[in-house]
Structure 1
């Protein structure tokens, strides 16, 4: 099954603005994880300017659908997002 990376570019004040949206965002991510589609997810630190979500799915539209439904995207905390196939060489399974 192929892997995909969803990359978010975040606004400068992301950490301050995320609190009212976090519960909805995490519920959406947890549902994808429980389905087995979302493998890992989190923001990069120092600075917190990007986030990476690693997916393992046969359907890349599931990744795009997640981004389009994500409150962080909807409310402008994400300024840009991309979905790219990821060729895993070591690890996975």
Structure 2
């Protein structure tokens, strides 16, 4: 298993739709957390474009991308940009 840092940048003017689909998005993330794939997640601060940071475990970036395609925020077109980068943790721990 590898660790990946994922960033979401939300689509412009998507706040009302995000509010509408947030319960399903949170349910999706909770399922990933309960399955041991999602380690931490949350919205980014107010500076810069609205978005979120997620840290997940997966066999590969491609596997993770396929999983994240099921996120209701992605399915509804609310994510303008998604990055998935392998992350090697030296200190602290996401275990």
* Deviation digits for residues 14-44 of structure 1 (CA, Å, limit 9, x no counterpart): 4332121111111111011001010011110
Unaligned runs of 5+ in 2: none
* Deviation digits for residues 44-93 of structure 1 (CA, Å, limit 9, x no counterpart): 02145221110123344442123211111121210111211001110124
TM-score, normalising length from structure 1?
A: 0.83
Q: Does 1:56 align with 2:65?
A: no
1:12 aligned counterpart, secondary structure: coil
- Structure 1 CA distance for aligned equivalents of residues 34 and 41 of structure 2: 13
1:88 is aligned to 89
C-alpha contact 1:25 1:71 (8 A) present in aligned 2: yes
1:69 is aligned to 70
1:78 is aligned to 79
1:25 aligned counterpart, secondary structure: helix
